[in-house]
Amino acid sequence: MKDKLKNFIFSELIYHEDPASFGDDDDLLEAGLDSMGIMRLIMFAEKEFGVTLPDTEIEPDNVNSLNALHRWITRAGRRQ
């Protein structure tokens, strides 16, 4: 899951010279993920992983790193 997220983020949303060097806990918001990018990322994750990510849970703690995204998507999958 993290690889799919990372590939989407760095091919579609954020420019980074060396995405392979970007760690799972590195800050995506500091790297340039903006509000439009977050919305595109949520739509991608919902379609790709078959989950619903509630708008009420869109907050920095859920989208600021690959690990945070992974936890959020996993929690959402368990609720369904």
| Dihedral sign of CA atoms 35, 63, 70, 30 in order | positive
Q: For 7-23, write each residue's pLDDT tens digit.
A: 999 999 999 889 999 99
Q: For 45-55, write each residue's pLDDT tens digit.
A: 999 999 999 99
- In CATH, what number is assigned to the domain containing residue 72? 1.10.1200.10
- Provide the residue type at 34 as one letter: D
| Phi-psi category of residue 26: left, alpha or beta, with phi > 0 → left and psi -120 to 50 → alpha | beta
**Nearest-angstrom CA–CA distance, 34 and 78:** 27
Domain range for 60: 2-79
The number of distinct structural domains making up the chain is 1
pTM of the model: 0.91
